[in-house]
Amino acid sequence: MKILLIGGGGRESALAWKIAQSPLVDALVVTHDNPGFPPGTVRATGDVLRIAQSHGVGLVVIGPEAPLAEGVSDLLTEAGFAVFAPSKDAAQLESSKEFAKAFMDRHSIPTAKWSCHTKAEDAHQAVDGPCVVKADGLAAGKGVIVADTAAEAHAAIDAMFDGAFGAAGHRVVIEERLTGPEVSILALCDGTRAVPMLPCRDHKRRFDGDGGPNTGGMGAICPPQDVDQALVDSVLQDVLQPTVDGMAREGTPFKGVLYAGLMLTPAGPKVLEFNVRFGDPECQPLMMMLDEDIVPLMMDCAQGNLSVERLSWRTGAACCVVMVSGGYPGAIEKGQPISGVLDPTRDSAAFYAGAKRDGGTVVSNGGRVIGVTAYGSTLNEASQAAYAYVENIHFHTADWRTDIGGDQ
C-alpha cells in the first residue's frame, strides 16, 4: 500500500517514523520536506488530490489542523480515497472554540462555564477576576491566555481584538478558570466508536516550572503517573464516546483522532479544549509507546470499522523534550546548523520539526526545532535518556526546558 502523509512538522516526523515500520507500506509519499522523514520517502509537490491520484495511494493521513479546517479531508473522501482525518464539519470541534463549547453543552459533556463575544466591550464586561481568554479560531496552539488577574484578561482581550492572532481572534471566548492538573487523552475514532490511547501530559509554558507564555508545546510525557486506567475509562465514558455519539447524531460522524485536553478538577475531569488530530508534541511519545502496527488502525478508522477494544502499548514510559530556537515564541534566528542527531532507534529519536536541509547540512528553520524523544522502563529513565540525547545535539541559540518528566 502507498500512503500519503500531509504535513511536515514534528508530529508528521513521528507519524512517518511509525508508518514506515509497517510491512503493509510499499511507499510513503509526503507533501512537505522534513529532514527526519525515513529514507525512501517520496516527496511530491502540487495539489494534494492530484498527488493522491498520480501516486495511487491507498490511504491519506492528514497531520496538521489547518488542512482539516479547510476541508482537504472532504475533497479526498469525495474523490474515493480512504482518509484518516475528520471532515471539515467535524473539525469544527477544534477550528471553532465556540462551536466546541456549544456542542459540549448540548451533549452534557463536562466543561468550564463560558461566553463568546464579537465585540471587545462585551468581552470586557464578561471578565470578573481570573479567567481564560481564548481566540475562537486556530492560532497554532498559542491563542489561549490564562489570566491570573482581571487586568491580564482585559489586556488579552484587547490584544486579540487588535489582531494579535489575526482572524482567529475576531471572536473571543471567555471561560471560567478551572484548577487541577492537566492531562491529554486521545482516541482513535471510526465514526461510531472511540478507542482511547495512553494518557499524555503536554507542557505548553515556555519556561521551567510552567512559567512564561504559552507555546505550541515544550515537551510531553506518556503516560503521567497520576493518571490510571480507571480515569481513562471514565473519560471514555463521559467525554470521548459521548462526543463521537453526538457528532454522529448531528450528521457529522467523527473519524480520525479525537484529542481531549482535560483539567482534573475537584469535581472530576472537565474538557479544556478539543483537537481533531494528534497533538504536537504528544504524538512523539505516543508513537514510541504504541506496540502495534498503526497502519491497519488508521485504515479501519477511515473505513468506519475499528473493531479493537484496546490498543497494545509498551510497558514503561516515553518523554519528549522540545529543543527551540532562542527567543521562541518571539523573534528567532533561522539557518543555524544542527549537529549531533543520530539515526532513530526503537527507544530514541530526534523528530525534526522546524528544520530543513541546506545543501548537505540540516539547519534550524522555526521556533520549535526538534522533539527529542526517548523510552525508558520508568518515566524517570525516559526523561534522563531524553535529556542525555538533548545534550548531544547542538545549534546556535538552542534552548529547552529542563523539567519535562521530572518529579514524576
**Could you say which of 87, 122, 149 is where a domain stops?**
87
Does 28 have pLDDT greater than 60?
yes
- Using 50, 70 and 90 to split pLDDT, how confident is the model at 39? very high
Summarised one tens digit per residue, pLDDT across range 334-391 is 999 999 999 999 999 999 999 999 999 999 999 999 999 999 999 999 999 999 999 9
Summarised one tens digit per residue, pLDDT across range 192-234 is 999 999 999 999 999 999 999 889 999 999 999 999 999 999 9
**pLDDT at position 138:** 81
Same domain, 165 and 265: no
d(CA 75, CA 83): 10
In a domain, 99, yes or no: no
Same domain, 385 and 297: no
pTM of the model: 0.93
Question: What is the domain-level CATH number for residue 77?
Answer: 3.40.50.20
Same domain, 248 and 191: yes
CA distances from 406 to 174, 225, 387 (A): 32, 11, 11
Following CA atoms 302, 224, 92, 70 in sequence, which dihedral angle do they give, to the nearest 10 degrees? -70
CB 52 within 8 A of CB 373: no
d(CA 313, CA 51): 33
Mean pLDDT along residues 175-199: 96
Same domain, 168 and 191: no
Does 64 have pLDDT greater than 80?
yes
In a domain, 248, yes or no: yes
Strands (E), 88-225: 114-117, 131-135, 144-147, 172-175, 182-190, 194-196, 201-202, 205-207, 211-214, 219-222
Does 142 have pLDDT greater than 90?
no
**pLDDT at position 141:** 63
**pLDDT at position 214:** 85
Same domain, 378 and 286: no
Does 407 have pLDDT greater than 90?
no
Same domain, 284 and 209: yes
Same domain, 293 and 231: yes
Same domain, 296 and 232: yes
In a domain, 10, yes or no: yes
Does 151 have pLDDT greater than 80?
yes
Mean pLDDT along residues 267-290: 97
Q: How far is CA 76 from the centre of its chain?
A: 22
Same domain, 128 and 148: yes
Give me the domain span that covers residue 165: 114-175
Question: What is the domain-level CATH number for residue 193?
Answer: 3.30.470.20
Same domain, 207 and 285: yes
- Using 50, 70 and 90 to split pLDDT, how confident is the model at 169? confident
**pLDDT at position 167:** 81
Q: For residue 7, which of 27, 46, 25, 34 has the smallest C-alpha distance?
A: 34
In a domain, 207, yes or no: yes
Question: What is the domain-level CATH number for residue 142?
Answer: 3.30.1490.20
Does 293 have pLDDT greater than 90?
yes
**pLDDT at position 397:** 95
Summarised one tens digit per residue, pLDDT across range 324-337 is 999 999 999 999 99
**Could you say which of 159, 175, 191 is where a domain stops?**
175
Does 408 have pLDDT greater than 60?
no
Question: What is the domain-level CATH number for residue 337?
Answer: 3.90.600.10
In a domain, 74, yes or no: yes
CB 213 within 8 A of CB 367: no
Cβ atoms < 10 Å from Cβ of 268: 14
In a domain, 156, yes or no: yes
Does 175 have pLDDT greater than 70?
yes
Q: Which range is least confidently modeled, 127-131, 187-191, 279-283?
A: 127-131
In a domain, 312, yes or no: no
In a domain, 106, yes or no: no
- The total of structural domains in the chain comes to 4
**Could you say which of 175, 194, 212 is where a domain stops?**
175
Same domain, 67 and 136: no
Same domain, 203 and 299: yes
